[in-house]
Amino acid sequence: MVEVRRIVLLSSLLVTTGLTVVLGVTDPAAPLSYPSRFLVWNLFLAWMPLLFAVGFATVRTRFWLLPLGVGWLAFLPNAPYLVTDLVHLSEGYELWRHVLQYGFAAWTGIMLGVVSMRLVHQRLDREFGVLAGWLTIVASVALCAVGVVIGRFQRWNSWDLVTRPDDVLAETLRWVREPLAQVQSTGVALAVAAFFGLAYLTVWALPGFSHPER
């Protein structure tokens, strides 16, 4: 039964990813042009934390947990970032097509992020205990909020953490030191943290409905 659930979960994520791409490819106005092609690229990046998380959850040697965990955390902000792509929606031709396209993308991004967090959380629980698992989840949600601000407002991406880490860190620290100087960025960060954190808690709590205490 567990294996069936995993297959259904993966299939569902692949289908919503495919629907996002199909809606962009078949757009009669501008197939896979801006912003659809960037939406597809962002979806690809949102799959990366799940790939790292699968490796994190299944690797046998503890040595690999650190590099896999770093890779997972570096790409994790790309998952909730897809929600902010809704900013590209505007009145015009094929509005409902774009509403569905961005809705599928946002849902897929959140689910990819939440599933990857669940995999990491379960492995940390087994290896290091409950406290370490929850501290990592809380920290990752907070860092995701910062990552979304870095991407949406400062226009950096995950690859820049490798190629230009000094510039990314310097600009991020400027925002962290004076959060009220950029109210919009700070507000979005808080909203993303709340949304992503609550999405995770919702999925984490779901098994309690299928196995109620007696």
- For residue range 104-131, list pLDDT tens digits in order: 999 999 999 999 999 999 999 999 999 9
- Are the beta carbons of 108 and 82 closer than 8 angstroms? yes
pLDDT at 166: 79
% the chain with pLDDT above 70? 88
Q: Does pLDDT of 181 surpass 90?
A: no
pLDDT at 95: 77
In angstroms, the Cα distances linking 51 to 71, 117, 157 are 10, 11, 18
Neighbours of 40 (CB within 10 A): 16
Higher pLDDT, 150 or 126: 126
Q: Would you call 87 helix, strand, or coil by DSSP?
A: helix
Percentages helix, strand, coil for the chain (3-state, rounded to 5) are 85, 0, 15
pLDDT at 211: 57
Cα–Cα distance, 64 to 129 (Å, whole number): 18
- Over residues 3-12, mean pLDDT: 91
- Are the beta carbons of 52 and 119 closer than 8 angstroms? no
Name the residue among 193, 103, 164 with its Cα closest to residue 154. 164
Q: Would you call 161 helix, strand, or coil by DSSP?
A: helix
pLDDT at 93: 63
Cα–Cα distance, 91 to 68 (Å, whole number): 42
Q: In the block, which residue shows the tokens 């492995």?
A: 123
Q: How far is CA 46 from the centre of its chain?
A: 6
DSSP 8-state class, residue 92: S
How confident is the model over 33-56, as pLDDT tens digits?
Answer: 656 777 888 899 999 999 999 999
pLDDT at 51: 96
- Over residues 157-163, mean pLDDT: 70
